[in-house]
Amino acid sequence: MPDREVPAWCSRTLGRLSHSRFRSGFSLNAKDRSYARAKGRAVIDRHAHELLAKRVGPALPPKDGRQTPYRGHPVFTAQHATGTCCRGCIERWHGIPKGRPLTDREVDRLAALVMAWIERDLKDHPA
């Protein structure tokens, strides 16, 4: 997928996810919103890339299906909301098969989705 198509893909994917009662039930808590605003987009985006690459990027991530906490960082909450929390959810929601490492491009795309979700949550809950 060319980079210029990523925002449209994010928008379509967030729309699909909104139909899931489980996925649409997530929102950042006040502490995570404050943290995200204080750190800024660039830092949170870097965290998203690092966390996705480390926790779900390997072909067989340790503790797959249980490796992403539900709170403690805005990216963790966003991963659950966007179906990027484990390889099973990534396969189910994004069509990326389990059993092989994520490519850098896939990590970039999933991080863009996580960031789009975080940015939408911050916009929906002004400081």
pLDDT in tens, 18-60: 999 999 999 999 999 999 999 999 999 999 999 999 999 999 9
Q: Residue 123 and residue 110: Cα distance in Å, rounded? A: 20
Would the pTM count as exceeding 0.75? yes
Q: How far apart (Å, rounded) are the C-alpha atoms in residues 121 and 114? A: 11
- Delimit the domains of the chain by residue range: 3-124
- CA–CA separation, 123 vs 88, rounded Å? 29
pLDDT of 5: 83
